[in-house]
Amino acid sequence: MAEIETSKVKIAQAPPGFEGPGFFATSLDKAIGLARKNSLWPLPFATSCCGIEFMATMASTYDFGRFGAERLSFSPRQADMLMVMGTIAKKMAPVLRHVYEQMAEPRWVLSVGACASSGGIFDTYSVLQGIDKIIPVDVYVPGCPPRPEQILEGVMNIQKLVHNESLRRRNDPEYKMLLASYGME
């Protein structure tokens, strides 16, 4: 068996807590945040070309599975990260909103690419000019299309939010206000 060069081995940073030999303590929300951020279940809502970049992100070169998020869900009830990738026609907007509403809390939204974020080059009567007109968005990924590296960076930014968020975001007054601004409870 080939020997592993120890200089190439990176040791992951332990989350903040009280450490000692054979002893580690942290708060429950930090432990849950750590578990949540490394076990996201994405729901890919891919409607056009950005979806192809997502397929590349899933494949072996970029290997989305490294982030603990390889288990895609095509059921909103078993997903916690909605990834919207592609042009969203106004006719499709109610469907996207319905999907979002069916997701259980806690849930996060990643808007991938110019079309999902702003309508992109389709400044036209039939295209929704950004999904944040109908649902709240946590992280935007720029580009037309964004490279898989950018999509991964977007997911990592979602992970940061997930890690640092309170256990019950739905009880947060700010979050409630945000949902209320979209006419949701």
Residues that bind ligand SF4 (CB under 6 A): 48-50, 86-87, 113-115, 120, 144-145
Shortest distance, CB of residue 115 to ligand SF4, whole angstroms?
Answer: 3
- 3-state SS assignment for residue 142: coil
Q: Contact 144/113 with Cβ under 8 angstroms?
A: yes
DSSP H helix total and E strand total for the chain: 6, 6
What is the smallest separation between the CB atom of 47 and ligand SF4, expressed in angstroms?
7
**In angstroms, what is the C-alpha Rg of the chain?**
18
Beta bridge partners of 10: none
Q: Judged by CB, which is closer to ligand SF4: 40, or 114?
A: 114
Cα–Cα distance measured from residue 116 to residue 101, given in angstroms and rounded to the nearest whole number = 18
Nearer to ligand SF4, 57 or 87 (CB): 87
Q: Min. distance of Cβ 120 from ligand SF4 in angstroms? A: 4
CB nearer to ligand SF4: give 48 or 157.
48
> Rounded to the nearest whole angstrom, what is the least distance from the CB of residue 143 to ligand SF4 in the complex?
7
For 56, the 3-state DSSP assignment is helix
For the bound state, the minimum distance from the C-beta of residue 138 to ligand SF4, rounded and expressed in Å, comes to: 18
Residue 43 contacts residue 83 (beta carbons within 8 Å): yes
The token duo for 173 is 């007054």
Beta bridge partners of 141: 112
Q: How far apart are CA 45 and CA 38, in angstroms?
A: 21
Specify the residue, 50 or 58, whose C-beta has the smaller distance to ligand SF4.
50
| Contacts with 11 (C-beta within 8 Å, 6 or more apart), sequence order | none
CB of 133 to ligand SF4, least distance (A): 16
Measured from the CB atom, the residue of 42 and 86 that comes closer to ligand SF4 is 86
Please, which residue, 115 or 155, has the CB nearer to ligand SF4? 115
